[in-house]
A and B are shown apart, each in its own frame.
Chain A
Amino acid sequence: MLKIENLHATIGDTEILKGLSLEINAGEVHAIMGPNGAGKSTLAYVLGGRDGYEVTEGSATFNGQDILDMDPHERAALGLFLGFQYPVEIPGVSNLQFLRESLNSQRKSRDEEPLSGGEFIKLAKEKAALLKMDMDMLKRAVNVGFSGGEKKRNEMVQMGILNPELAILDETDSGLDIDALRTVGSGINAIMRDEKKAVLLITHYQRLLDEVQPDYVHVLAKGRIVKTGGPELALQLEEQGYEAVAA
């Protein structure tokens, strides 16, 4: 599904990704762990197509298509979703309006009919219930005045509504209380566990991986994948730290 080869990316003059390779197939869950500043969020942004992140070498394809020249919204319409480490506030725009416009834009790109107001509300209710989010929250402005945990949960509601093929979730677990972590974990499983879909979890902690069990765990350090293993690698990291494991 996603194939990254020898990816180099810079912000300004600084090279952050330094020859990163990674392949994710449909039906798989991958986890990326790594020290602060290693380039995990940068990887997510580069894949999402954020301005200011320049790819200087290497390639990234999504279902065989080169995505690096595409606009962010085109990548989204292909089924790429980013769960943000720091979800953004958009004052004056309700979550429902935001998501309905986003979804219908994606559908338009894919030559699908737009969802009617009624259909959309039904879908939103279903996904909000899955994440135990009050519908009233969805009527409020996007992330404005949301607590840290609510923002993360809101990301997952958005994912549910947009129903992507590949979700890259950047520290979705951080800021969640114990119960919320379970809810979010089971939400991810319900939405994304599918033979046609895949997940890339970026995380610092084992606890999310207890809920959403990965098939592969990678260690990202200094801009590249330095080690890959099974779920046991995460446990080993938790015990010994990056220095010992990835050195």
Chain B
Amino acid sequence: MTDNIKTDTHPAPLDERAQMNAEAQAAADKASTYEHGWSSDIEQEFAEKGLNEDTVRFISAKKEEPEWMLDWRLKAFRIWQDMESPDWAKLDIPMIDYQDAYYYAEPKKKPELDSLDDVDPEILRVYEKLGIPIAEQEVLAGVKGARKVAVDAVFDSVSVATTFREELEAAGVIFRSISEAIREYPDLVRKYLGKVVPVKDNYFAALNCAVFSDGTFVYVPEGVRCPMELSTYFRINAENTGQFERTLIVADKGAYVSYLEGCTAPQRDENQLHAAVVELVALDDAEIKYSTVQNWYPGDENGKGGIYNFVTKRGLCAGARSKISWTQVETGSAITWKYPSCVLNGENSVGEFYSVALTNNHQQADTGTKMIHNGKGSRSTIISKGISAGKSDNTYRGLVRVGPNAENVRNFTQCDSLLLGDTCGAHTVPYIEVKNPTAQIEHEATTSKISDDQMFYAQQRGLDEEEAVSLIVNGFAKDVLKELPMEFAVEAQKLLAISLEGSVG
């Protein structure tokens, strides 16, 4: 161990610490309507506060990374240092002090886990509180014959347990934490890492490249249909710990994979930065379906204490007839800045983006997608449903670009905004850049409010005010929700309801 590693994270004596934890937990339990607003007391190992080359070296060493990886990170760090935080999005971003955050935290070191029985019971308790669907709880509990959803749980930056590894392995699917993959499959990782989202793509992506702590790697070999849906639960647990997840999913020729990502975070009084990078690569005839239900702590009614979510998600349809679908339900975060995109290089490749973004109170969301058509005959569909309540601001920002050599491209975009009340905002900012005259681009946009007629009608049938709003909102979002895998769709509906609590009346 180097001197940098703190084995005890708090200077306070043990019993005092336990008491602080208990108090914090009690306070968090009571504090708000946020269902997942509580904290657990798994011991952390932190990197020293602050960000410099040593932090980068520390993380890399901690991960026992090869030299090339460290070099890659250091290069990224230098690039990041020369970049400026973006301000073009329609967001009011408070200054983030990058030196006032921890960049690495992991649950106290445990021996390698052979089975889930070895998982810290505290972590299992976390799953329970998160309301992980029963099917997955059964999986976690090791119930025989449980429905197959593989859970690679990212708990505060480090993958703690991976299930179904063997069955996946039999199919040839590699499903690993990215740190493991860097050690075990260096050639594969090296071939694709940073190829979809280059280091200098944007400020937060560069930061991620330098300090990413963990994440997920998936490789589905040629012709393989991944035998189960892959699922990862992210959770930010340490106070003041920026989260820099890194996800890389590669579907080789003719492969298919569906990946589910879900996020929750405990309530904290300080804003927490999250700057993940997700890269998807689909080769010829491959299909990747990536679904997210995002439920990070949005801050209290006054906007205090939420997560800052600056995520770079991009898929590359590299092969002919390849397909990438993004489906997202965004209800969390204080600030969201996120544009899951598709680069459609393959001939006749297909990109899809289905999004529900809900903002309440003082939340700000600037999200949308980019569909970059370079391949002949490539097609894309964008369905965006924005819901704004409270004093929130919700912006859809979308780019459809058709390159000069891309013949017969088609795009259809539907952007609908629903306003609850008079103090929120909804904005639609479509950019269309067409350099080939054969392209067919369709864009439809609507803005509506929940009408008094609808409210009274639903209430007269027996729904209370919040149930009525939730029903109408879920109806509005239906075209997107139906794209989600079943268990996620149910969760997403609940989430929309929870997120709107207190927004009416």
Q: Is the CB of B464 within 8 A of A73?
A: yes
**A84-B457, A90-B454, A92-B477 given; A101·B464 CB < 8 A:** no
- In the complex, which residues 471-505 of chain B have their Cβ closer than 8 Å to any Cβ of chain A? 471-472, 474-479
CB distance from A166 to the nearest CB of B (A): 13
Tell whether B99 is near chain A: CB-to-CB under 8 Å: no
Minimum distance in angstroms from B310 CB to a CB of chain A: 31
**Whole-angstrom CA separation of A87 from B456 in the bound complex:** 11
Interface residues of A in 43-75 (CB under 8 A from B): 45, 48-52, 71-73, 75
Contact A102 B452 (CB under 8 A): no
B467: interface (CB < 8 Å): yes
Choose among A75, A89, A92 the residue that contacts B479 (Cβ–Cβ < 8 A): A92
> For residue A44, which residue of chain B has the nearest CB?
B460
Q: How far is the CB of B107 from chain A (nearest CB, A)?
A: 40
Contact with B along A24-47 (1 / 0, CB 8 A): 000000000000000000000100
Q: Report Cα–Cα, A103/B455, bound state, in Å.
A: 16
Assess whether B224 is interfacial by the CB under 8 Å rule: no
Query: Is the pair B456, A51 in contact by a Cβ cutoff of 8 Å?
Result: yes
Task: Specify the chain A residue showing the minimal Cβ separation from B505.
Answer: A71
**B interface footprint on A70-95 (CB within 8 Å = 1, 0 otherwise):** 01110111000110101111111100
Give complex CA distance A84, B184 in Å: 66
Choose from B455, B460, B471, B474 the contact partner of A76 (Cβ within 8 Å). B460
Bound-state Cα–Cα, A51 to B504, Å:
13
Q: Does B461 contact A (CB under 8 A)?
A: yes
Task: Give Cα A81–Cα B461 distance, bound, in whole angstroms.
Answer: 7
Among B457, B474, B475, the residue within 8 A (CB) of A87 is B457
Contacts of A106 in B (CB 8 A): 462
The answer, yes or no, to whether A203 is at the interface (CB within 8 Å) is no
Q: When chains A and B are docked, how far (Å) is the Cα of A98 from the Cα of B454?
A: 12
Report how far A234 CA is from B476 CA in the complex, Å.
Answer: 44
- Smallest Cβ-Cβ distance to B480: which chain A residue: A92
> Which residues of B, 225-266, contact A by the 8 Å Cβ criterion?
none
Q: Which of B442-464 contact A (CB under 8 A)?
A: 451-464
Q: How far is the CA of A91 from the CA of B479 in the complex (A)?
A: 10
Chain B stretch 104-135: residues in CB contact (< 8 A) with chain A: none
Residue of B nearest to A81 (CB): B460
We find that the number of chain A residues with CB closer than 8 angstroms to chain B is: 35
| A172 contacts B by Cβ under 8 Å | no
Which of chain B's residues has its CB closest to A110's CB? B462
A94-135 vs B, CB cutoff 8 Å, 1 = contact: the mask equals 000111011101100100000000000000000000000000
**Complex-state Cα separation, A35 to B482, whole angstroms:** 47
Give every chain A residue within 8 A of B478 (Cβ-Cβ): 91-93
Partner of B472, one of A45, A77, A87, A90: A90
A101 touches B463 (CB 8 A): yes
- Report if A102-B457 is in contact (Cβ < 8 Å); known contacts: A71-B464, A92-B478: no
| Minimal beta-carbon separation of A23 from chain B (angstroms) | 22
Q: Tell me the minimal C-beta distance from B422 to chain A in angstroms.
A: 15
Q: Interface size class for chain B?
A: 20 to 34
Q: Say whether A98 contacts B465, CB under 8 Å.
A: no
Q: Are A73 and B462 in contact (CB under 8 A)?
A: yes
Query: Using Cβ atoms and an 8 Å threshold, which residues of chain B touch A71?
Result: 459, 464-465
Assuming the contacts A48-B460, A76-B460, A84-B457, asked whether A105 and B467 have C-beta atoms less than 8 A apart, the reply is yes
A75 to B453: give the CA distance in the assembly, Å: 17
Which residue of chain B has its CB nearest to the CB of A83?
A: B460
Known: A52-B452, A88-B457. A162 touches B471 (CB 8 A): no
Determine the chain A residues whose CB is within 8 A of the CB of B462 once the complex forms.
73, 76-77, 102-103, 105-106, 109, 162
Q: Can you name the residue of chain B whose Cβ is closest to the Cβ of A93?
A: B475
Task: Determine if B452 and A93 form an interchain contact, defined as CB atoms under 8 angstroms apart.
Answer: no
The residue from B453, B460, B467, B475 contacting A92, defined by CB atoms under 8 A apart:
B475
Shortest distance between the CB of A143 and any CB in chain B (Å): 9
Chain A CB within 10 Å, residue with most, of B460, B463, B467, B474: B460
Contacting residues, chain B, for A88 (C-beta < 8 A): 451, 453-454, 456-457
Which of B452, B458, B479 contacts A98, CB < 8 Å?
Answer: B458
CB-nearest residue of chain A relative to B478? A92
In the assembly, what is the distance between CA of A90 and CA of B473, in Å? 10
CB distance from B346 to the nearest CB of A (A): 33
**B474 near A50 (CB under 8 angstroms)?**
no
- Of chain B, the residue at the smallest CB distance from A74 is B464
Most buried by B among A71, A91, A162: A91
Apart from A81-B460, A88-B457, A91-B476: 9 A-B pairs, beta carbons within 8 A: A51-B456, A71-B465, A73-B459, A73-B465, A77-B462, A92-B474, A102-B461, A106-B462, A158-B461
Q: 10 shortest A-B CB distances, which residue pairs?
A: A92-B475, A92-B478, A93-B475, A102-B461, A106-B462, A72-B459, A88-B457, A102-B462, A76-B462, A105-B462
Task: Write the residues of chain A forming the contact surface with B, with a CB cutoff of 8 angstroms.
Answer: 45, 48-52, 71-73, 75-77, 81-82, 84, 86-93, 97-99, 101-103, 105-106, 109, 141, 158, 162
Q: Can you list 30 residue pairs at the A/B interface with Cβ under 8 Å? A: A48-B460, A49-B459, A49-B460, A51-B456, A71-B459, A73-B462, A73-B467, A76-B459, A76-B460, A77-B462, A84-B460, A87-B457, A88-B451, A88-B454, A91-B478, A92-B474, A92-B476, A92-B478, A92-B479, A93-B475, A99-B461, A101-B471, A102-B463, A103-B462, A105-B463, A105-B467, A109-B462, A158-B461, A162-B461, A162-B462
